Amino acid sequence: MNEDKDIHEALNSLVPDPEPSPEMLRKLRFAARVTKERKAPWVGRLSMVAIGFAAVATGILVLMPTKSEAKTLDKFVRAVDQTNAFQFRIESKVAGDSGSLSIAGQDGTVTMRTNDGALMEFRTGELSIYDAEEKTITRMKVGKYLPMDEIAKGVKAGMAEGLKKMDIKKILKDYQKENGADKVQISPVRSEGTRRVYDVALASAKQTDRITFKVDAATDLPYRMEVSAPDGNGRYRETVLMEMRFGNDVDQSALRANFPANAKVQEIDLGGMVDGVIKGAENLGKMFGDPPAKP
């Protein structure tokens, strides 16, 4: 170190104040309080996806027309197993923060879009994600190393199989035992436009949230779910709204991503290894917001 003493002293002479001033620290602490943390792009969105799937699963549990639980479950299982198209739209309003997510899928292609402009399309062998802030499309080719077709099939089969094995009668019995049979209310069938519908309202002495499903009487499939929570003033406010469509009811325009034509495209070829390094791997860091650095 001695031979570098001259450099050490010279450079440290440029730092007359080794600590930030109290005023600077005060500004930083103020900024820490007022700076809103960016939503973790995929954690937030995936949590909404989870809400969606949880809602569907919950829907199965609470669709308990005393007349035919098994029939209802069978229909839902068939819908999942046989339909080649689905569409979920989820809106969330929690603590003044709102967001929405739309997921649509058909024949192996899934499109997801959020209210903040993010757009994702997954199709055979390729995943494309559009970042509205950066106006950039990141296109990941998954290639032969990730058998996405098989994964997609596995997820679908697993979901259907899980539903088939679900002991709905036991679940309902447990639910009723825990909450009381009177906590599930099924309305009479009524008309909404040209549709015959009924409501299933779920309440629990142990949970403050209220969940209501609107169900198509013709199929016993839910098409809308509403969750509301107490706002502290004795009123209930809607916190989650989810709309579900299957088969021919799916909006065809929701199935296409339609990325902006002027967006910058960066390619990551997960299937294209060159000397053990993924082609375009440097773009992964940019995509997830790592501090940029020279290669």
Partner 1 sequence: MVTIEPEAISRPTTPDELITIHSADVWRFVQAQISHREDAEDIVMETFAAAFRDFRKVAHADNQRHWLLAVARRKVADRHRRKYRRAEEPIAHAEGYGSTQTPSTDQLITREALSRVAEDQREVLILKYVNGLSTEEIGQVIRRSVAATNSLLQRGRESLRAALATHGENV
Contacts with partner 1 by CB under 8 A lie at: 4, 6-8, 10-21, 24-25, 27-29, 31-32, 35-38, 40, 43, 288-289, 291-295
Q: Residue 177 or residue 294: which is nearer to partner 1 going by CB?
A: 294
Minimum distance, C-beta of residue 83 to partner 1, in the bound complex (Å): 36
Minimum distance, C-beta of residue 138 to partner 1, in the bound complex (Å): 17
Minimum distance, C-beta of residue 275 to partner 1, in the bound complex (Å): 16
Q: Residue 29 or residue 165: which is nearer to partner 1 going by CB?
A: 29
Q: Residue 14 or residue 70: which is nearer to partner 1 going by CB?
A: 14
Minimum distance, C-beta of residue 200 to partner 1, in the bound complex (Å): 37
Minimum distance, C-beta of residue 121 to partner 1, in the bound complex (Å): 25
Minimum distance, C-beta of residue 25 to partner 1, in the bound complex (Å): 6
How far, in Å, CA of 51 to CA of 101, rounded?
A: 11
Minimum distance, C-beta of residue 263 to partner 1, in the bound complex (Å): 23
Q: Residue 37 or residue 182: which is nearer to partner 1 going by CB?
A: 37
User: What is the bridge-based pairing of β-strands 136-141 and 264-274?
Assistant: parallel
For every residue of the chain, DSSP letters joined together read -GGGHHHHHHHHTT-S-SS--HHHHHHHHHHHHHSPPPP-HHHHHHHHHHHHHHHHHHHHHH---TT-HHHHHHHHHHHHHH-SEEEEEEEEEETTEEEEEEEEEETTEEEEEETTS-EEEEETTEEEEEETTTTEEEEEE-GGGS-HHHHHHHHHHHHHHHHHH--HHHHHHHHHHHH-GGGEEEPPPEEETTEEEEEEEE--SS---EEEEEEETTTTEEEEEEEEEE-SSS-EEEEEEEEEEEGGGS-GGGG-----TT-EEEEEEEEEEETTEEETTHHHHHHTTPPP---
Q: Residue 145 or residue 288: which is nearer to partner 1 going by CB?
A: 288
Q: Residue 6 or residue 150: which is nearer to partner 1 going by CB?
A: 6
Q: How far is CA 128 from the centre of its chain?
A: 16
Q: Residue 143 or residue 280: which is nearer to partner 1 going by CB?
A: 280
Q: Residue 14 or residue 261: which is nearer to partner 1 going by CB?
A: 14
Minimum distance, C-beta of residue 217 to partner 1, in the bound complex (Å): 44
CB-based contact 35:73 (threshold 8 Å): no
How far, in Å, CA of 115 to CA of 187, rounded?
A: 33
